[in-house]
């Protein structure tokens, strides 16, 4: 049963409810185990998740739904469950921890469990699937609405290909990370456009989330066919991760990607409102961390309130370089921002350095990454990490680390 059809069965039982209290279980110390088992890790990882899934399934009700994520599980409660959600979460956590201690290859595994409120309106709002054979509320087969003109066909986004924009790591002088962009035309004779501009605005979040899934799948296929050890930052819209009815299908799309491909993917969260509540930013980024180890967020330096990210799971904060005429005036503020980002254990990327003056000013601020035409044009193929000597003040060069960990 697909994730969407599985969710559809909850519609009748949750009518009148305002929220659904789900259990999230995240396995930690996976990186430590990966280092320990090395080439045996894929088989051990599969065994860990299969064992945990079998254990959990024996302890949930027949109406509960269990979803496997990249680093854990999400459990949706069935309509007949009588156990309070906090009690259920605590029981599953306690029993899993006790189970880990008695299993040799799980002894070093850690666990984080929490009960999270999900809005029912988000699960079954506009665009959510109707159960098979069910008519929308207040409508039967003989109603005027049902007998009227057929509903317009669904909106679709334009076909697209991928391009890769290089990001230069200032500490090493290497380019190992590329930003993935969708490139296409809205119509045959129209101009070339990129990213979410390929989605009609009237399509809303539903179409945007479908576009995010298509971009992820196309990127994964490219990485699979291109066995070079570089990293790719693939964009996903903030709303796709913040809205449950879009989040779960995206998580499912991520789950079918092989471990070797996931290890080379970063999630680049775009469209994040800089005034979004801190709790929502934390929730979205921590969910993204369940899918991939590295998280990048696009930021607006002028509107950013950095304290909102105090508890967020973010590795790189990426901003566009100001126009050359404004760069000098904003230089001090960007420098202070970079210092605060570094103190928080994160890195700053400055993209869009298309002029030599922008590159020189950005480089002087010592960000972790630089991007733009002065670093290199976008390409249609993903290259292996390479050393790039830019016309900049020299810095000590270091050899890149192993490909899986480079360049973070």
Total number of residues shown for the chain: 408
* Span between the terminal Cα atoms of the chain, in Å: 38
Distances (CA, A) of 310 to 341, 345, 392: 10, 11, 33
Distances (CA, A) of 148 to 73, 131, 132, 136, 139: 44, 22, 21, 15, 12
Residue 70 has pLDDT above 80, yes or no: no
* For residues 62-74, average pLDDT: 81
* For residues 346-370, average pLDDT: 92
Distances (CA, A) of 389 to 118, 164, 312, 374: 49, 19, 34, 11
- Check if the beta carbon of residue 264 is closer than 8 Å to that of residue 231: yes
What is the per-residue pLDDT for 140?
Answer: 39
Note the pLDDT tens digit of each residue in 191-215: 888 888 888 777 788 889 999 999 9
- Check if the beta carbon of residue 235 is closer than 8 Å to that of residue 218: no
Residue whose tokens read 């699979």: 224
Predicted TM-score (pTM) above 0.85: no
Residue 127 has pLDDT above 50, yes or no: no
Q: Which residue has the higher pLDDT, 261 or 136?
A: 261
- What are the b/e assignments for 300-311, b being 16+ CB within 10 Å? ebeebeeebbee
Residues 239 and 365: their CA atoms lie apart, in Å, by 32
Distances (CA, A) of 5 to 280, 291, 402: 27, 22, 42
Note the pLDDT tens digit of each residue in 369-407: 999 999 999 988 888 889 998 876 444 444 444 433 444
Note the pLDDT tens digit of each residue in 248-294: 888 888 888 888 888 889 999 998 888 888 888 998 998 898 888 89
- Give 66's strand partners: 75
What is the per-residue pLDDT for 15?
Answer: 56
| 269 three-state secondary structure | strand
Note the pLDDT tens digit of each residue in 22-44: 888 888 777 777 777 788 888 88
Helix, strand and coil percent figures for the chain, each rounded to 5: 40, 20, 40
Distances (CA, A) of 66 to 1, 56, 95, 230, 301: 12, 8, 17, 33, 40
Note the pLDDT tens digit of each residue in 83-118: 888 888 888 888 888 777 666 667 677 788 888 776
What is the band of 124 on the pLDDT scale with cuts at 50, 70, 90?
Answer: low
Q: Which strand (E) or helix (H) includes residue 241?
A: helix 238-242
Average pLDDT over the chain reads 79
What is the per-residue pLDDT for 18?
Answer: 57
């Amino acid at each position: 049963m697909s994730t969407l059809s599985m969710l559809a069965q909850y519609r009748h039982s949750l009518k009148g409810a305002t929220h659904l209290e789900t259990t999230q279980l995240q396995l930690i110390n996976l990186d430590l185990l990966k280092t320990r088992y090395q080439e045996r890790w894929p088989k051990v990882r599969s065994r860990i998740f299969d064992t945990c899934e079998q254990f959990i399934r024996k302890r949930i009700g027949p109406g509960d739904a269990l979803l496997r994520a990249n680093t854990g599980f999400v459990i949706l409660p069935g309509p007949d469950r009588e156990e309070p959600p906090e009690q259920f979460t605590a029981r599953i956590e306690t029993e899993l921890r006790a189970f880990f201690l008695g299993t040799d290859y799980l002894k070093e595994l850690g666990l984080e469990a929490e009960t999270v409120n999900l809005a029912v309106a988000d699960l079954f709002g506009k665009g959510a699937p109707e159960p098979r054979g069910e008519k929308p509320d207040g409508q039967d087969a003989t109603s005027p609405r049902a007998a009227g003109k057929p509903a317009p066909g669904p909106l679709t986004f334009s076909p697209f290909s991928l391009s890769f924009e290089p990001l230069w790591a200032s500490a090493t002088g290497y380019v190992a990370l590329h930003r993935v962009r969708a490139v296409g035309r809205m119509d045959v004779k129209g101009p070339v456009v990129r990213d979410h501009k390929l989605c009609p605005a009237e399509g809303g979040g539903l179409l945007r989330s479908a576009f995010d899934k298509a971009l992820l799948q196309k990127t994964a296929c490219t990485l699979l066919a291109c066995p070079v050890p570089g990293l790719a930052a693939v964009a996903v819209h903030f709303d796709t991760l913040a809205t449950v009815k879009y989040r779960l299908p995206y998580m499912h799309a991520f789950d079918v990607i092989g471990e070797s491909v996931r290890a080379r993917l970063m999630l680049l969260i775009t469209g994040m409102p800089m005034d979004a509540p801190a709790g929502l930013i934390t929730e979205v980024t921590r969910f993204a961390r369940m899918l991939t180890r590295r998280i990048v967020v696009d930021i607006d330096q002028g509107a950013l309130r950095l304290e909102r990210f105090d508890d967020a799971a973010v590795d790189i904060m990426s901003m566009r370089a100001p126009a050359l005429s404004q760069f000098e005036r904003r230089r001090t503020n960007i420098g202070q921002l970079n210092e605060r980002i570094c103190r928080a254990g994160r890195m700053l990327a400055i993209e869009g350095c298309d002029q030599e003056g922008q590159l020189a000013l950005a480089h002087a601020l010592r960000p972790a990454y630089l991007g733009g035409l002065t670093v290199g044009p976008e390409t249609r193929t993903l290259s292996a990490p390479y050393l790039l000597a830019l016309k900049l003040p020299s810095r000590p060069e270091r050899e890149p680390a192993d490909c899986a960990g480079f360049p973070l």
